[in-house]
Amino acid sequence: MKSTQMLKNFPIYRPLVGLNVQKIQSARLITAIKTPFKYDGKIDLKSFDNHAEKQLKFGVEGFVIGGTTGEGHLLSWDEHIMLISHAKHKFGDRCLIIGNTGSNSTKEAINATEQGFAVGMDAALQINPYYGKTSDKGLLKHFNSVLDIGPSIIYNVPSRTAQDIIPENMFKLAEHPNFIGVKECNNKYRIKTYSENNIFTWSGNDDECHELRHNYGCNGVISVTSNIIPGLFRKMMNEESTDISKKTEKLIKLLFYQPNPIGINTLMMMLGLCEPVFRLPYVELDKNIRNEAIKIIEEIGIDHFLSKDRKIKELKDNEFCYIRY
């Protein structure tokens, strides 16, 4: 039997994890949550739990575990699946747990997705193959293979994968029964096209999410910035508030001054939400940018930020630690 026929005959597996697809599709604010590290190089579960609790207090409805912000690409798969399992065990009764189990290898993505559902995640986040890009036909076979495993959100971020998932292909993928929706980072008109065709979307661009939510039919946001100002993002998703949107512009611009997650890591360390430990190749923002961050936080108001003791610390260069494993 040819491999293409085997793919067509592959049985669809719907994991029995109490998944409520409608609950996912109704979620306005999902945080791409940071993975904190200890000085010994291990994942800091205590800091993760404290941070997750604060997020839930301010109305965050779900977490993407091990995404770009969570440095999933720097975690071993053992660490990755452990963190999905831990998050589901600790917080799964109060929020959605979405595991970033995509890969540029279909075999690896299938294996990770099977493990993620086995430990209880509610849905997977699936990215298209990157670096070793494939054709449109290969892309569709890749996504249909991982969609066969269980309910998934497709993630389109051409700036990182160097390949756009065009609407024609997304419409084909949307026919799969395990397709939930799209995390889209391309442009507002792409979001509008999907929304008009009854495809659920989440913005992957924090700087556009307010406009997309209220003017282009976007369902909500999978946010980086909500790691530190979840309350303001919750309000922007719930109601039209151009004042808050403008108020956060400089902060969001600073967070993405360097490739994500450099900015959010640095500010979370300055706010005392985690130890100042970077897993290489990530390092802190330069001192002049950190000083600018302090000014921006003071302008917005420290009370709007998650922090330790309502303070922002001016960390020195020698206070940051780098780990290689």
**CA dihedral over 71, 76, 79, 84, signed as positive or negative:** positive
Kindly report the backbone phi and psi dihedral angles of residue 96, in degrees, each rounded to the nearest multiple of 5, phi listed first.
Answer: -85, 140
Out of 13, 107, 141, 183, pick the active-site residue: 183
Is 295 designated active site? no
Question: What is the residue whose two structure tokens read 């009370």?
Answer: 303
Determine which one of 34, 155, 194, 247 is catalytic: 155
Pick from 215, 225, 180: nearest CA to 201: 180
Q: How many C-beta atoms lie closer than 10 Å to residue 127's C-beta? A: 25
What residue spans of 148-259 are helical by DSSP H? 158-161, 167-173, 188-196, 209-215, 230-238, 242-247, 249-255
149 in Cβ contact with 126 (< 8 Å)? no
Give residue for tokens 């996504």: 143
State yes or no: is 155 an active-site residue. yes
> 161 and 128 in contact (C-beta within 8 Å)?
yes
Residues involved in catalysis? 155, 183
